[in-house]
Amino acid sequence: MAQKLQAPRGTYDVLPDDAARRDQVEATARRILGAAGYRRIETPVFEATELFARGVGASTDIVQKEMYTFEDGGGRSVTLRPEGTAPVARAYLEHGMQKLPQPVKLWYLSSFFRYERAQAGRYRQFWQVGAEAIGSADPAVDAESILLLAELLESLGVRDVRLRLGSLGTPETRAAYRELLQRYLRTHEDRLSEEVRSRIDLNPLRAFDADHPGTQEVMQGAPLLIDHLSAEDLDHFGEVRALLDGADLAYEVDPTLVRGIDYYARTLFEFTSDALGAQSGVGGGGRYDGLIEQIGGAPTPGIGWAAGIERILLAAGEEKIAPPLVDLYVAYAVPEARATGFELTWEARRAGLAAQFELAGRSLKGQLKQAGRIGARYVAIVGEESATLKDMETGEQEELEPGRVIPVVLKKGKTLA
């Protein structure tokens, strides 16, 4: 027997019942980001592989292990987008947006692809809503960006949110700090876990996340990047914090919050939700002042974030969404009235009513039952000469000419509203 066909591992179908909730996320993002001057952008689902190699970083897990990369018919290497920032930065350059008033503020809601181990809250095709502000290094852009994500999560009812904030300084500061940390780890090598010890050269920062008690003890005395920032970077961070404090946004400064990509600079942040399990990250982002240069443009500052739609929905819990309204259900009493009913349905729609017609050949009794199932407010039972309009809430009925059905429903709708 042929194998049953299923959605590929790590993917899922958005069924109509789920779609309503997602529409709400999109509408809320549009409202909040639109009001702050962000405009929608959509980039292609696939891009030249090189964009991500340069724009995400060749040494990252994403580029090394998680990309869906293939050759197209023309022998070009293309990749299903694993994230949105590099494509948006590419579009910014390609369309000369550096000539527009800066910063250019863009938002997207799109699907992304990563070959990751599938588990609750982690998929191979997932959706992110994201916002990027390119072209200004002003700390107010950082604060605004963070506040927008905070507001979006709050408006969507994401529970138990926590914000961690850090500053990375410049790549040079980070390189010097890395060496300092490596020296410190080597001096205490005998107390570190095997794993941390073997990664001193490759990724010394990982030591901050270790569960191993000896390592944790050593890390309590470890030098922190935040204590080695330049005066300028510290000022920038101070201003971002002051603006967030002024807006009463709670956060925790986390000196161990890091990202291993070279073009990240200064502000870095992550929102988590305690309502989620192991995959607790809801959304995060940071400043990427080196990115545009990395992909071939002039040095241009930028900051942005992305938040996962699946995690937002999981962390927001179930919220009942009212089923779509049906103003009028058009039933027919005899087969001869079918064409009249069909036309009436279209006229009702043109008049702005949500109208449905009997499409399954049910008996009159079956048609009325169906009208009840879909929650129709009125039912018009069309006969050859006349129609009966039934108010499904009160049970009242009246006889009228088919041509009167729409004006009467419209008028009743008005008096109800």
Told to check if 164 binds ligand AMP by CB under 6 A, we report no
Question: Does the CA dihedral 411-413-416-417 come out positive or negative?
Answer: negative
| Residue of the chain from 291, 306, 328, 331 that contacts ligand AMP (CB under 6 A) | 306
Told to check if 128 binds ligand AMP by CB under 6 A, we report yes
Q: Which is nearer to ligand AMP, 260 or 281 (CB)?
A: 281
DSSP string, 118-151: -BTTB-SEEEEEEEEEES---HHHHHHHHHHHHH
DSSP 352: T
Task: Please state the closest distance from residue 272 (CB atom) to ligand AMP, in A.
Answer: 8
How many Å apart are CA 399 and CA 378, to the nearest integer?
A: 13
Task: Please state the closest distance from residue 122 (CB atom) to ligand AMP, in A.
Answer: 4
Instruction: Give the binding range for ligand AMP (CB under 6 A) out of 49-57, 115-123, 292-300, 345-353.
Output: 115-123
Told to check if 284 binds ligand AMP by CB under 6 A, we report yes
Rg (CA), the chain: 28
Report how many residues bind ligand AMP under the rule CB under 6 A. 17
Q: Which is nearer to ligand AMP, 286 or 341 (CB)?
A: 286
Q: Is 243 helix (H, G, I), strand (E, B) or coil?
A: helix
**Burial of 288 by CB count in 10 Å (0-12 exposed, 13-18 middle, 19+ buried)?**
buried
| Residue of the chain from 139, 302, 308, 341 that contacts ligand AMP (CB under 6 A) | 308
Of the candidates 164, 256, 281, the one whose C-alpha atom is nearest the C-alpha of residue 206 is 256
Task: Please state the closest distance from residue 225 (CB atom) to ligand AMP, in A.
Answer: 19
Tokens of 270: 């992550």
Residues in the chain: 417
Site string for ligand AMP, 72-91 (x = CB under 6 A): -----------x--------
CA-angle at 17, arms to 13 and 23, nearest 5°: 85
Told to check if 301 binds ligand AMP by CB under 6 A, we report no
- Rounded to the nearest angstrom, the gap between the alpha carbon of residue 90 and the centroid of all alpha carbons in its chain is 20
Question: Does the CA dihedral 342-346-351-356 come out positive or negative?
Answer: positive
Q: Which is nearer to ligand AMP, 166 or 341 (CB)?
A: 166
Told to check if 260 binds ligand AMP by CB under 6 A, we report no
Told to check if 288 binds ligand AMP by CB under 6 A, we report no
Q: Which is nearer to ligand AMP, 44 or 366 (CB)?
A: 44
Q: Which is nearer to ligand AMP, 143 or 306 (CB)?
A: 306
Edge to edge, the sheet with strand 252-253 lists 39-40, 104-113, 125-134, 302-308, 281-287, 267-273, 161-167, 252-253
How many Å apart are CA 90 and CA 92, to the nearest integer?
A: 5
**H or E, element range at 198:** helix 194-198
Told to check if 129 binds ligand AMP by CB under 6 A, we report no
Instruction: Give the binding range for ligand AMP (CB under 6 A) out of 20-28, 219-227, 229-237, 308-316.
Output: 308-316
Task: Please state the closest distance from residue 245 (CB atom) to ligand AMP, in A.
Answer: 24
| Residue of the chain from 12, 24, 115, 122 that contacts ligand AMP (CB under 6 A) | 122
| Residue of the chain from 123, 264, 288, 357 that contacts ligand AMP (CB under 6 A) | 123
User: Where does this chain bind ligand AMP (CB under 6 A)?
Assistant: 83, 114, 116, 121-123, 126, 128, 281-284, 306-308, 310-311
